[in-house]
Amino acid sequence: MTLFKRLGFVLGAVALAVVAQPIDRAQAQDDRYIIVQSTTSTEASGLFEHLLPKFERMTGIDVRVVAVGTGQAIRNARNGDGDVLFVHHTPSEYKFIADGHGKRRFDVMYNDFVIVGPKDDPAGIAGLDSVTKALTKIAKSGAPFASRGDDSGTHKKELGLWAQTDVNPRQASGNWYRETGSGMGATLNTAVQMGAYTMSDRATWLNFGNKKNFEILVEGDPRLFNQYGVMVLNPEKHPHVKEGMAQAFVDWLVSQDGQQAIANYRLKGQQAFFPNAD
């Protein structure tokens, strides 16, 4: 090979290396995102819109949320679709961990569920301090009740409360018990249109804009407590998980800064979620 050919070969290789460097950096930048499988209430309440820009500005990590019912979010995460699971049905979350799909679970925050319905209250449940008494009165009155029916955390909670009564609402499916198969916002819309009672997490209810003559009728029963948990998917089970960035997001949520950001979120002047990371 002549000197000029050798020199041309070397210069060509250097040029390729110079061109390749910014492409690699761009690819790395494009890869700085994580996918969070989460419940609809964190999205519908506006909490993520409040939280995520703070984390993204601090870390440069883009957080992409898949907001579905808790049951679907867990199924998605079991399939490895995502990096973080952030939902609100503690028994299902621990089962997810026990089956090897997630790493350590953290409490993040809580709020509560409420029973809402039309102001004229045909079942006469307003002010009851027992949610199971309220559900029993709704069933006996035959007044419509709109259930999410979507295996979400809210739906799981609702079924657990019905199980503490003498009523099996599924036997009345399509009669007074209506299953929407939808998220919380859509179910609230359906309930308002039908004049039906329903159960909602408080934050989504506060952020719901189509209340018309509906109001909170039952609240405050300790059984309406609503805990949220978060965990990184297990990279040993799902090798594509972006563990470092996912853990950074979880660590921020349970840090003093993340917890304060959750506490600062208000809807209609009310605190929507209460941080309780240990």
Beta strands 177-179; 84-87: pairing state: unpaired
From residue 11, give the alpha-carbon distance in Å to each of 1, 16, 117, 186, 245: 15, 9, 76, 62, 38
Tell me the pTM. 0.85
Spell out the domain ranges in the chain: 31-110+227-275, 112-224
pLDDT for residue 30? 64
Tokens, residue 98: 């026990």
Phi, psi angle pair for 258, to nearest 5°: -65, -40
Q: Is the dihedral of CA 250, 86, 205, 125 positive or negative?
A: negative
**Same fold: 31-110+227-275 with 112-224:** yes
Residues 6+ apart with CB under 8 A from 175: 142
How far, in Å, CA of 269 to CA of 92, rounded? Answer: 32
The DSSP bridge partners found for residue 65 are 36
Question: Do the beta carbons of residue 219 and residue 115 sit within 8 Å?
Answer: yes
CATH number for the segment(s) 112-224: 3.40.190.10
Phi, psi angle pair for 276, to nearest 5°: -150, 40
How far, in Å, CA of 18 to CA of 15, rounded? Answer: 5
CATH fold group of domain 31-110+227-275 = D-Maltodextrin-Binding Protein; domain 2 (3.40.190)
Which DSSP category does 270 fall into? E
pLDDT for residue 14? 36
| pLDDT tens for each residue of the chain, 278 residues long | 443 344 343 334 433 333 333 434 444 456 899 999 999 999 999 999 999 999 999 999 999 999 999 999 999 999 999 999 999 999 999 999 999 999 999 999 999 999 999 999 999 999 999 999 999 999 999 999 999 999 999 999 999 999 999 999 999 999 999 999 999 999 999 999 999 999 999 999 999 999 999 999 999 999 999 999 999 999 999 999 999 999 999 999 999 999 999 999 999 999 999 999 98
In the block, tokens 């099996």 appear at 168
